[in-house]
Every structure is written in structure tokens, then in C-alpha cells.
Amino acid sequence: MINRRTFLSTSAAFTATLAAFPRDLLKANAADTVITILHTNDTHSQIDPLPANDRNAGKGGVARRATLVRKVRKENPNTLLVDAGDVLQGTPYFNFYKGEVEYKAMSAIGYDAGTLGNHEFDNGVEALAAALKFANFDIVSANYDVKGTVLEQRVKRYVVKTLGGIRVGLFGLGVSPVALITPENFKGVTYIDPVIAARDVVKKLREEERCSLVVCMSHLGYVEKGDRGDSFVASQVDGIDFIASGHTHTFMEQPVTQTQPCGAKTLIFQVGKSGIYVGRVDFTFRSGKIAAASARLLDLRNA
């Protein structure tokens, strides 16, 4: 979990990012388009609310998540729902149904895209491909090369969604399989350095796909310092507006910011685990460009 000192400093940085916009840009404007990104991570097969013996007893559950998502989409139809990986493993639902229940639930809720965590490979590539037949949303990973495997027709490098005239590029990054995924279960999949993969896909999204908003679903993990985590990738790659983070089960109350090489800011937000919370980030566009951003944590206990 992020420590208090770091949380306060990064929270201040995020506030400063918002304050950097001219005051008139932060006001509501009829010509503005707001794109809402809802995100989850590390839900780990938690279909029901957490049990009474858990410190987060009563929170979460896919039914509440569905209710919350429906409410937000009614409020703003220009809403995307994404997941940063480790959908699978953690309850008997996975043990018995091998991912069918989880992906059916996410499809019913209305996810738009998700990426692959290390636990998606717990039963191997073939089993993952079988489970993904129940997902009616896009699965993206820019740094897991699945060519030549049964995942080739199911996992894309990126997708582009258009909402309110704004083109949104979505891509995923996965953690290194070393010491996390049994080699046999990752057979045929090639791991690519996330910085190299991100630079390539962001360039394509910005220049060829003409995306005004670029979102990364990352299962690299949030670490303040260290190699190949979300902060490191954001510090090395220009053009990522938002990283929906996963893997480290980090409970953040609001996003942190990371400065890109060009000086722009990347927001990074992770919402713990088990579907207890959903993160919400609202990007306000004016004349096709980001004019403001705001974010908050949504508690599913009261959804």
C-alpha cells in the first residue's frame, strides 16, 4: 500500500495538475465532451460480496458492480469500462468453472476491454483460450506476443473506441512471466519489454489511429521505484494519458501522476483487489483536446 508521505506528495501533484488548467477550462461548458473511464483490477474470481470474516466484509460483488456501471452510463453514455488483469484465480468459482463464470459476468456487466494478468495463465494457454470464449469484450496486450498460439485470434495489441467523437486508444501491458508463470503454462507466448512495446503502440495510436486519449491497462504493478513498473514505464514513454494499474493490489484513494519525457503527465490509478472498489476518471475534452481531468474512488458497498 502507498505510504502516507508518498500519498500526500503525489496527491498534491495530481491536484497541481488540475490547477494548471486555466480556471475557465475547469468550468462546465456545453461544448465540452466528457469521457469517463471506469476501471477494475485483480478481481480474482470474487463473484459475491466479500464474506463476513474478511476485513472488507460485505463489499464488492458483480451484481453491485453492474448496478454502479449502469448508473454511471446513464449519467454519461460516453463511458468505458476496463480491467487491468488477474480476473481469474482466488475462489471456488475458478476452481470449478475455469474462468467461464468470471468472463460471463464481465460480459453481462458490459466491459469494453481488459488485459491479461499472470493468473490468467494458471491453467495454461489452451485453458485461457477456452475461458475467453465467454468474454464478449476486447482483450488487449501489447507486450505478450501470442502469434502462433490459440490466443492469436483472441488477443489484440490494441483497440480504438470512439465516444462522443473522441477516439480512445486502449492497450495492455503484462508483467514478466519469470518466476510468476509456469513456463509450460506460458508456452508459445513471447514476452516483450513493456517500454519498447508501449512506445511502439502509443506511436501507432497517436499518429496512425489519431487517438486523442490513450489508456493503458497495466498488470505491471504500481511501485514508487523499481524496474518496469507503471511509474517507470510512464516516465519513459510519451503519450499515455492514463494507466489503469493492476498486479500489486495497491489501494489508492486517488491517482498519482508521473512526468513523461516530454513533460506531460500520466495519471496512474489502482483500486486494490477483489472488486471492492471501482476507479473513475473523467477526462473533459474541449476542441478535441484534454482540458481537465478528475478522479475518484467508487465504493461498491453502497452501490
pLDDT in tens, 259-289: 999 999 999 999 999 999 999 999 999 999 9
Residue spans of the domains in the chain: they are: 4-20+33-302
Answer whether residue 80 shows pLDDT above 80: yes
Rounded to an integer, the average pLDDT of 178-198 is 97
pLDDT tens by residue, 203-248: 999 999 999 999 999 999 998 666 779 999 999 999 999 999 999 9
Domain 4-20+33-302 - what CATH class? alpha beta
Mean of all residue pLDDT scores within the chain:
91
Q: Specify the range with the lowest mean pLDDT, choosing from 22-31, 73-82, 203-212.
A: 22-31
Q: Dmax over Cα atoms in the chain, in whole Å? A: 56
pLDDT of residue 300: 79
Confidence of residue 5 (pLDDT cuts 50, 70, 90): very low
- CA 236, 261, 287: angle at the middle one, nearest 5? 115
pLDDT of residue 224: 65
First to last CA, the chain: 24
Is the Cα dihedral 234, 259, 87, 104 positive or negative?
Answer: negative
Answer whether residue 2 shows pLDDT above 80: no
Answer whether residue 293 shows pLDDT above 60: yes
Q: Exposed, middle or buried, 66 (CB in 10 Å: 0-12/13-18/19+)?
A: middle
Q: Exposed, middle or buried, 273 (CB in 10 Å: 0-12/13-18/19+)?
A: buried
- Tell me the residue ranges of DSSP E strands in the chain: 33-40, 79-83, 113-114, 138-140, 144-145, 155-156, 158-163, 166-174, 190-191, 213-219, 242-245, 256-259, 265-269, 277-286, 289-299
pTM of the model: 0.90
Q: Measured between alpha carbons, how far is 294 from 269 in angstroms, rounded to an integer? A: 12
Q: Answer with the residue of higher pLDDT: 242 or 2.
A: 242
At position 259, the amino acid (one-letter code) is T
Answer whether residue 78 shows pLDDT above 80: yes
Answer whether residue 30 shows pLDDT above 70: no
Rounded to an integer, the average pLDDT of 91-114 is 98
pLDDT tens by residue, 36-53: 999 999 999 999 999 999
